[in-house]
């Protein structure tokens, strides 16, 4: 697989946190690329991207579990578009590692959907309706039988490109029927290119039931293998940008790893010790001022209150506590 453009400067984006963090806490930051489904024989018409749909479901499961910090899907999609990574790149461990480095991740998850359909003979249904059971969008190939979904995933180290772990999730519907029809399919309009795999309508179909089981199986395996991902200690290094009005504003935020409730040390810069031969700064002398706690947060800045010390000034250094 090839990467179409060299990685350029990008900011780290905020993560959907499964739990709160404190300064210096080790965080395992991951993201999921859309799953590849090139080997699956299409029985649906339209431009339905089941790879993206399944990846979204896995992201939801991982965020709810809270073991990993999972980068928001919309942010990831933005980066993929800006870097011009094509869908054909999504299953490549090498490409995944490069994307992961851009995002400051510890690991990135790539995978493939290997089964997505039913076990029995194909049947062809015409339809002009826009509801489940009507198979809107013209003739859509369907299969009647029990639905089966299988998903493979790889957890890739972004620094080495090494595959740290593999997981395979599989699910089968408890009943037989048409993939997007059958008992409990319900109503509600849809287009062949726009089925919401997180909706109750989809979940109640036999293919939806099988998908949910496969996703839950895969998610559980990824969670149990979290120890294989090397976490990164978050180090904060910023400055006070404003200290008036009773609030302290600092010039680092979510992008840098700052979280609500995080406590940071404040130091005042002093004289610099330079090499007399080269003029290079050898050491910066600082004086402890106090400690602050983050109370408000956005991507590039934060508001904090003083916890100890006083007289905080613009230009004071804020840093992770040792």
**Domain residue spans in the chain?**
15-228, 236-320
Q: How far apart are CA 311 and CA 240, in angstroms?
A: 12
- Enter the tokens of residue 269: 């810069």
Report pLDDT digits (tens) over 40-90.
Answer: 988 877 788 899 999 999 999 999 998 888 887 776 777 667 666 655 555
For domain 236-320, is the CATH number 2.40.10.410? yes
Question: Residue 279, Cβ neighbours under 10 Å: how many?
Answer: 7
How big is the chain, counted in residues? 322
Report the chain's mean pLDDT, rounded to a whole number. 77
Contact 300, 252 (CB under 8 A): yes
- Evaluate if residue 320 carries a pLDDT over 90: no
Higher pLDDT, 106 or 83: 106
Q: How much of the chain is helix, strand and coil, in % rounded to 5? A: 20, 35, 40
**pLDDT at residue number 90:** 55
Mean pLDDT of 122-136: 37
Contact 166, 214 (CB under 8 A): no
For domain 15-228, is the CATH number 3.40.50.150? no
Question: Residue 264, Cβ neighbours under 10 Å: how many?
Answer: 25
Q: Write out the E strands in 192-262.
A: 232-233, 237-242, 248-250
**pLDDT at residue number 138:** 33
Is the overall model pTM greater than 0.85, yes or no?
no
Choice among 74-78, 105-109, 114-118, 216-220 with the minimum mean pLDDT: 74-78
Q: Which helix H or strand E contains 52, and what residues bound it?
A: helix 50-65
Contact 298, 254 (CB under 8 A): yes
Report pLDDT digits (tens) over 151-200.
Answer: 999 999 888 888 999 999 999 999 888 888 643 333 333 444 467 898 88
């Amino acid at each position: 697989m090839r990467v179409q453009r060299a990685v350029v400067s990008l900011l780290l984006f905020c993560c959907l946190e499964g739990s709160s963090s404190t300064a210096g806490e080790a965080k395992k930051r991951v993201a999921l690329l859309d799953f590849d489904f090139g080997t699956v024989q299409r029985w649906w018409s339209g431009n339905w991207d089941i790879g993206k749909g399944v990846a979204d479901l896995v992201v939801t499961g991982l965020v709810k579990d809270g073991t990993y910090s999972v980068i928001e899907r919309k942010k990831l999609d933005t980066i993929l578009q800006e870097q011009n990574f094509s869908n054909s790149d999504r299953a490549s461990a090498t490409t995944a590692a490069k994307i992961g480095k851009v995002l400051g991740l510890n690991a990135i998850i790539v995978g493939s959907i290997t089964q997505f359909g039913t076990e029995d003979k194909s049947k062809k249904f015409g339809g002009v309706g826009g509801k489940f059971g009507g198979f809107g969008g013209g003739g859509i190939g369907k299969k009647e039988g029990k639905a089966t979904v299988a998903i493979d995933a790889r957890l890739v180290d972004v620094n080495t490109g090494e595959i740290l772990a593999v997981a395979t999730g599989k699910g089968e519907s408890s009943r037989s029927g048409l993939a997007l029809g059958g008992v409990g399919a319900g109503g509600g309009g849809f287009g062949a290119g726009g089925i919401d795999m997180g909706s109750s309508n989809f979940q109640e179909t036999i293919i939806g039931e099988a998908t949910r089981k496969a996703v839950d199986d895969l998610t559980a395996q990824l969670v149990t293998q979290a120890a294989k991902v090397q976490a990164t200690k978050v180090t904060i290094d910023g400055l006070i940008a404003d200290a008036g009005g009773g609030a302290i504003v600092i010039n680092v935020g979510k992008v840098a790893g700052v979280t609500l409730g995080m406590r940071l040390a404040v130091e005042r810069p002093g004289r610099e010790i330079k090499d007399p031969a080269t003029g290079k700064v050898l050491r910066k002398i600082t004086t402890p001022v106090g400690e602050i706690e983050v109370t408000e947060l956005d991507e590039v800045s934060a508001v904090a209150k003083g916890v100890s010390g006083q007289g905080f000034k613009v230009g004071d250094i804020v840093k992770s506590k040792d």
